[in-house]
Amino acid sequence: MPLRGVDAPMLATYERLETQLLFIRCGPPTRPSNKENQVLDGNNIVIVSGLLIGLVYGSIGLLSGFCLLSSLRGFWADGDGRLVRTYALAIGVAVAATQLLAAAGFVDIGKSIYLQPSFSAPVMLCGGLLFGYGMVLSNGCGSRALVLLGRGNLRSFLVVVVLAIVAQMTLKGLIAPARIAMVGASQTTATANSLPALLAAAGFNATGARMLAASIISAALIIFAFAHPAFRRSPGQVSAGLVVGLLVAAGWFATGYLGADDFNPVPVTSLTFVAPIADALQYVMLSTGSTLNFGIVTVFGVFAGSFVAALLTGRFHLEGFQSPRHMLRSGGGAALMGAGGVMALGCSVGQGLTGFSTLALASLIAFAGILLGTAVDLRGALRVRPLATA
């Protein structure tokens, strides 16, 4: 407060003394610590990494047709084994790269949802069955729907929205109590929750067990892929398998190493799409009450990568439903994928690639359920007939 009747020199002296007293009482002005800057930088790096990974995955998915359903349909129905070998190569590369990161100490994949000590095998298997069956009804999984949406496929918009809504209902809404009750009634605590842990229990040391399991699985999948002459003559499919497998490892590295911080930890994860699609829809509607994370920006990145690739290659065109029955089938399949993906803790990418790369027993069970559900829908007695107008 200014003092009346005091000349300028006295006023300056008074203000200087007041500042010194304030400094003594309160200390120097606070500045952001280096630790705070590191936390902010780490979070930003994870967000940017997720966006870049999504952009690459979206463009690769559009250009190569990378999709589990397309792979199995071509392999079982059309006799074309190239796409299924692309998927096998992606799994093999993801397993090898992820286990190398874990063995080197860069990433603690034990902190991920896939390697928890307790899990419900019946719920995981049932969720996988629902997801696989719904994937055929919707003509693609959640990640494929994002890729097709970027290309202008408006049918995929319904799939994405319905999947997101039902997934949130299963995670936190009306279906959540039933899911939690089923998990509580059937979950078990396994002494060994992964293939390396099983080998370690048989007498191998931890690192040796990890590398042995990873070597056998990845080598078998890579040999299966390159044993097919048509696949070897398809450089685009070979590149897609290699890149997608490395993207899984990149996601682990971004969240498990670049985002590692004891004061502000980032969930250790990689490519997965059911819960992230649900979170992305919620973020679009309620962004003021939400924060960006790796999964949300990956979803946005996949859509953007596909959209840009479609524009650059002239593949963008609008298309929609041709019959009400087609719309009901796609919406029903999306609902099954939303519920089943939450129950299985992942989708054909979240469990089929990312979960598989951890060699977790729960992931193998969930992925087996997805394959079985897809097989029933494509070839079994409950096979869904193709729509003439689809």
Separation between Cα atoms, residue 327 and residue 155, nearest integer Å? 8
Task: Give the per-residue pLDDT at 256.
Answer: 93
Separation between Cα atoms, residue 370 and residue 351, nearest integer Å? 9
Alpha helices in 27-67 (DSSP H): 34-64
Residues 6+ apart with CB under 8 A from 172: none
Domain boundaries, the chain: 46-378
Q: Please give the structure tokens belonging to residue 241.
A: 């398998």
Assign 380 a pLDDT band (cuts: 50, 70, 90).
low
The answer on pLDDT for 3 being more than 60 is: no
Q: Please give the structure tokens belonging to residue 141.
A: 């999984």
Separation between Cα atoms, residue 114 and residue 111, nearest integer Å? 8
Percent of the chain with pLDDT over 90: 75
Can you state the angle between helices 82-103 and 206-226, rounded to 10 degrees? 160
When pLDDT is averaged across residues 189-207 and rounded to a whole number, the result is 89
Separation between Cα atoms, residue 360 and residue 119, nearest integer Å? 11
Assign 386 a pLDDT band (cuts: 50, 70, 90).
low
The answer on pLDDT for 375 being more than 80 is: yes
When pLDDT is averaged across residues 333-346 and rounded to a whole number, the result is 97
Assign 337 a pLDDT band (cuts: 50, 70, 90).
very high
Separation between Cα atoms, residue 359 and residue 353, nearest integer Å? 10
Beta partners for residue 189, in sequence order:
118
Arithmetic mean of pLDDT over the chain: 88
pTM, full prediction = 0.86
When pLDDT is averaged across residues 13-24 and rounded to a whole number, the result is 42
Q: What angle do CA 340, 346, 352 make, to 5 degrees?
A: 115
Q: Is the separation of the CB atoms in 257 and 109 below 8 Å?
A: no
Q: Measured between alpha carbons, how far is residue 24 from residues 21, 27, 43, 103 in Å?
A: 5, 6, 36, 52
What is the per-residue pLDDT across 77-124, written as a single tens digit (0 to 9) for each?
777 889 999 999 999 999 999 999 999 999 999 999 999 989 999 999
The answer on pLDDT for 72 being more than 60 is: yes
Q: Is the separation of the CB atoms in 291 and 40 below 8 Å?
A: no
Task: Give the per-residue pLDDT at 74.
Answer: 87
Task: Give the per-residue pLDDT at 382.
Answer: 67
Q: Please give the structure tokens belonging to residue 106.
A: 């860069």
Separation between Cα atoms, residue 190 and residue 356, nearest integer Å? 18
Question: Under DSSP, is residue 267 helix (H, G, I), strand (E, B) or coil?
Answer: coil
Q: What angle do CA 354, 129, 137 make, to 5 degrees?
A: 100
The answer on pLDDT for 2 being more than 70 is: no
What is the per-residue pLDDT across 255-284, written as a single tens digit (0 to 9) for each?
999 988 777 778 999 999 999 999 999 999
Q: Is the separation of the CB atoms in 145 and 333 below 8 Å?
A: no
Task: Give the per-residue pLDDT at 387.
Answer: 60
Q: Is the separation of the CB atoms in 228 and 82 below 8 Å?
A: yes
What is the per-residue pLDDT across 134-151, written as a single tens digit (0 to 9) for each?
999 999 999 999 999 999
Task: Give the per-residue pLDDT at 261.
Answer: 77
The answer on pLDDT for 154 being more than 60 is: yes
The answer on pLDDT for 13 being more than 70 is: no
Task: Give the per-residue pLDDT at 21.
Answer: 38
